[in-house]
Amino acid sequence: MLVCVLGEAGTGKTTFAQKLCAYVRSQSKIALGCAATALASQVYINDYFVTAHELFKIPVVDDSEDIDSTNEILSKIKWGDERHTLLQQTSMIIWDEFMSNHAHCLNAALKITNHFTGKVVVCMGDTRQIPPVVVRGSAAEVCLLSIMVFALFCYCSLGLCCIQFEFDVLQNQSNEGPVYNPIEN
């Protein structure tokens, strides 16, 4: 199941993601998180979010290399290794700043996770923020490499964060104690 939570800055998407991760983990299930950039992943203190490239082992392509819709970039995860097993056992993946990734990131993630079979994938972001970077690309080329035009995106459930979430009760609860880090660098 692919769910998109869209909203501008300050609407509570990060708090929602943190509480959602905590809930899934409290059910003894695995919840993983990633973001388009390392800076975005650092917002999730104690939740061990990494970049989408790190989580799915997608190679980072040098700016001098030409990427277009005909080139396929694949995950470096080998079937049956620890990361592959972890992804297969994962119940939920939260992908923050989803729209800032190239469509090839989603394609690589889909292939390594068997199209997210048996998983809830929560894609979050703000459609008004940074689109994927295409060096010397036209607006049309940026659109072609955007996740928003990816065929699977049409099938996702859409939730809009149009008001500030109120988590007063949840925010006052302590999150102290050991935190399980399923992602080993």
Q: What are phi and psi of 45, to 5 degrees?
A: -65, 135
Residue ranges, the chain, pLDDT below 50 = 69, 151, 157-181, 184-185
Query: What pLDDT does residue 10 have?
Result: 82
Token reading at 132: 């994927």
Query: What pLDDT does residue 163 have?
Result: 38
Q: Are 170 and 19 in contact (CB under 8 A)?
A: yes
Residue 27: which residues within 8 A CB-CB, separation 6 or more? none
Query: What pLDDT does residue 53 have?
Result: 93
The percent of residues above 70 in pLDDT, for the chain, comes to: 65
Query: What pLDDT does residue 148 have?
Result: 56
- Spatial separation of the C-alpha atoms in residues 182 and 185, rounded to whole Å: 10
Residue 8: which residues within 8 A CB-CB, separation 6 or more? 126, 128, 161
DSSP notation for 72-103: -----PPTTSHHHHHHHHEEEEEEETGGGSBH
Question: 95-136: per-residue pLDDT in tens?
Answer: 998 877 877 888 889 889 988 889 999 988 887 776 666 667
Query: What pLDDT does residue 176 have?
Result: 46
Q: What are phi and psi of 77, to 5 degrees?
A: -75, 135
Query: What pLDDT does residue 161 have?
Result: 43
If DSSP codes are grouped into helix, strand and coil, which group holds residue 147? helix
pTM here is 0.73
